[in-house]
Amino acid sequence: MADEQPSDKHATWGAKRWSFSAGYMPTASTGREPDFTSRDELCLLNASPSTACAEVTVHHEDGDPVGPYRIEVGAGRVRHVRINDLIDPEAVPLGVPYGLTVVSDVPVVIQLRHLDTRQAALGVAVSSGIPESR
């Protein structure tokens, strides 16, 4: 079964445009890096039979939007991308709130996962974004 290609019925799962308003990466972390670095991660699911090309734009409280950051997700695959690793065209700053918009050329499902390791008891939260309504 692992050899099977994603079926066309999955091609419509998700949306092409997403918005996330609750981004924040703490400046402090505990434990070894990179496993225990405080971070946010975009978790993208591409259930379609085509590679997804997504463009991320970061929105700030007191600055112009920055982007696009380009992310590819293979057909029938999932990809987790640390926001901390988005550095081109500009690193996303730590310790300040931000929002994201994501535009993909095929429908994808996206969540934003937050990992806060400032204390020994790790804090994890998952935010569902707002997909563009059809």
Q: Which phi and psi angles does 12 have, rounded to 5°?
A: -95, 0
pLDDT above 90 covers what percent of the chain? 57
> Cα–Cα distance between 47 and 74 in angstroms, integer?
9
Report the C-alpha gap between 26 and 4 in whole angstroms: 41
Joined together, the tokens standing for residue 83 give 């926001």
For 68-100, the pLDDT digits (tens) are: 999 999 999 999 999 989 999 999 998 999 999
The pLDDT value recorded for residue 1 is 42
Residues 6+ apart with CB under 8 A from 118: 26, 28, 29, 30, 38
11-65 pLDDT, tens digit per residue, is: 568 999 999 998 888 887 777 777 777 778 999 999 999 999 999 999 999 999 9
Q: What CATH number matches the domain at 25-131, 3.40.630.10, 2.60.290.11, 3.40.50.720, 3.40.605.10?
A: 2.60.290.11
Residues 123 and 35: their CA atoms lie apart, in Å, by 14
pLDDT at position 106 is 95
Assess contact for 102 and 111: CB atoms under 8 A.
Answer: no
